[in-house]
């Protein structure tokens, strides 16, 4: 089997004993329930131990929090969330809900009644840590989520990328005292939330993202009150992850008394904010670096597990990243890399076998008929790749820059109807051909996507990826016909 891949030659020990979680980011392109169940079945076959589920506005918040529910699509019902958990548990997978409690609260603070809870008026993601109303809001969100996850043992409270913290008026007043710092401001709020979680649910383990603690000293962490209360999850999604720096951070947390540590890698959603079709190699490289980290830690430092993240948006207000179907080969490859300690020929063979494909690079998938049941969403992945190829053809994407359009149908010429009919109609013919190709392939994507995602996701995806290429072609054909009617008889 020749896939064109260069398998990893340097082998690390397999990922140490610990959980392998897959992150489900539901704040964009939330899968229909039937497809979500198919994905859980696949995750089980791939060897996943648990799900890290980030609901955001797809959670059916009730009472005063009902305004947080999505309006573009229907949030998951209580029954759907319970059924999802039952299926996961029947497959031996733990479900860990992720609820943001400080930063990345865009889906909360965008609502007008809650504007006053922002750290800064123009920073829609960061909570003002000084208001009791903000604290009560966060705790009520946690209460409703925990209540709908009976038997939950672990909760992720987010707390990453708390932008502009310390810039609000109340924070500036608090920071007037010279002994107070922004680091303490962050730690005070997170500790308060974590302590309240422990008081309400003593059995629950608490995970949080680590990035806001990376520049803190051991002494600061020891004095924070978080030691023994939270389990830091260090995230790095880059293919050239700095192994020495990452090892140093993990060992700093451990030395500060935070002995329960997690890693977070990426199988999708970390290439760029608008990626449509990913490169599996990039994500495999990220996992190879994490394997080096795990094998380089001091003897006493252990990782409880790794969360393989699959971001669907960079934040609530950004565009969609690549959809799950195009990323499933990447996920399979990343998991096998962890199991084998390298992406060897054997690891590659296992990954392709489990999905029933010949390659783990989705861009190289061959159209298959009928589609096998091992790869849920394969047909959508195939047509997205085909459409992406068209969208990135220079002749189509930059049609208005070609010699004939710039030479015989410029803006100046259009406005004054100074056009050459013969050449202009040739331009029209070529633009119409491209339009037809795009429309046919877009319709194929739309039909397949509607079976897996809500209508709002289909509309957003097409408007973000297709419309910027299709509209200029449509516009130029319309303008040509308008010109022709004025300078050529019987058009």
The residues carrying an active-site annotation are 161
Evaluated on CA atoms 445, 451, 456, 457, the torsion sign reads negative
- Find the largest Cα–Cα distance for the chain: 86
In this structure, the number of other CB atoms found within 10 A of the CB of residue 186 comes to: 21
Evaluated on CA atoms 337, 339, 340, 341, the torsion sign reads positive
**Per-position DSSP letters for 145-193, written without gaps between them:** HHHTSTT--EEE------TTTT-SHHHHHHTTSTT--HHHHHHHHHHHH
Which one, of 308, 354, 305, lies nearest residue 329 by Cα?
Answer: 354
Helix, strand, coil shares, percent, the chain, to 5: 50, 10, 40
Report whether the peptide linkage leading into residue 370 is cis, meaning its omega lies within 30 degrees of zero. yes
Region of residue 52 (left: phi > 0; alpha: psi -120 to 50; beta: else): beta
Contact (CB, 8 A) for 246 and 298 = no
Whole-number Å distance between alpha carbons of 400 and 439:
18
Whole-number Å distance between alpha carbons of 146 and 61:
12
Contact (CB, 8 A) for 159 and 103 = yes
Helix (H) or strand (E) holding 253: helix 243-255
Whole-number Å distance between alpha carbons of 51 and 485:
61
Torsion of CA 331, 333, 334, 340, to 10 degrees: 140
In terms of DSSP H, where are the helices of 266-408? 280-296, 324-340, 345-355, 378-391, 394-397, 403-408
């Amino acid at each position: 089997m020749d896939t064109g891949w260069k398998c990893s030659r340097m082998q690390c020990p397999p990922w140490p004993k610990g959980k392998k979680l897959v992150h489900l980011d539901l704040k964009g392109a939330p899968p229909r329930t039937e497809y979500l169940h198919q994905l859980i079945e696949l995750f089980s076959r791939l060897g996943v131990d648990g799900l890290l589920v980030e609901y955001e506005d797809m959670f059916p918040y009730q009472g005063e929090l009902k305004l947080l529910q999505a309006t573009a699509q229907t949030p998951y019902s209580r029954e759907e969330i319970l059924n999802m958990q039952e299926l996961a548990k029947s497959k031996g997978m733990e479900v860990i809900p992720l609820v943001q409690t400080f930063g990345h609260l865009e889906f909360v603070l965008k609502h007008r009644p809650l504007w006053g809870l922002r750290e800064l008026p123009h920073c829609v993601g960061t909570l003002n840590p000084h208001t009791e109303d903000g604290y009560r809001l966060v705790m009520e969100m946690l209460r409703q989520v925990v209540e709908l996850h009976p038997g939950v043992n672990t909760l992720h409270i987010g707390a990453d990328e708390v932008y502009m913290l310390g810039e609000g008026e109340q924070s500036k007043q608090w920071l007037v005292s010279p002994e107070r710092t922004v680091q303490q401001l962050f730690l005070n709020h997170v500790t308060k939330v974590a302590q309240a979680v422990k008081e309400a649910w003593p059995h629950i383990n608490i995970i949080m993202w680590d990035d806001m603690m990376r520049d803190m000293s051991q002494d600061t962490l020891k004095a924070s009150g978080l030691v023994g209360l939270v389990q830091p999850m260090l995230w790095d999604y880059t293919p050239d992850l700095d192994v020495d720096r990452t090892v140093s951070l993990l060992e700093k947390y451990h030395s500060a008394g935070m002995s329960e540590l997690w890693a977070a890698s990426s199988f999708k959603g970390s290439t760029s904010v608008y990626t449509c079709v990913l490169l599996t190699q990039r994500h495999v490289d990220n996992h190879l670096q994490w394997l080096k980290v795990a094998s380089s830690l001091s003897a006493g430092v252990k990782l409880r597990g790794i969360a393989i993240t699959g971001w669907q948006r960079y934040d609530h207000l950004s565009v969609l990243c690549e959809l799950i179907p195009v990323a499933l080969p990447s996920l399979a490859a990343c998991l096998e890399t962890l199991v084998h300690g390298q992406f060897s020929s054997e690891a590659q063979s296992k990954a392709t076998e489990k999905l029933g494909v010949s390659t783990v690079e989705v861009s190289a998938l061959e159209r298959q008929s009928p589609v096998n049941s091992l790869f849920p969403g394969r047909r959508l992945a195939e047509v997205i790749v085909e459409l992406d190829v068209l969208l990135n053809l220079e002749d189509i994407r930059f049609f208005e820059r070609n010699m004939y359009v710039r030479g015989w149908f410029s803006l100046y010429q259009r406005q004054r109807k100074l056009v050459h009919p013969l050449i202009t109609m040739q331009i029209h013919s070529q633009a119409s051909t491209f339009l037809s190709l795009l429309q046919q392939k877009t319709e194929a994507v739309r039909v397949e996507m509607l079976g897996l995602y809500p209508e709002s996701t289909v509309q957003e995806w097409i408007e973000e990826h297709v419309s910027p290429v299709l509209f200029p072609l449509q516009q130029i054909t319309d303008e040509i016909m308008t010109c022709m009617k004025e300078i050529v008889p019987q058009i």
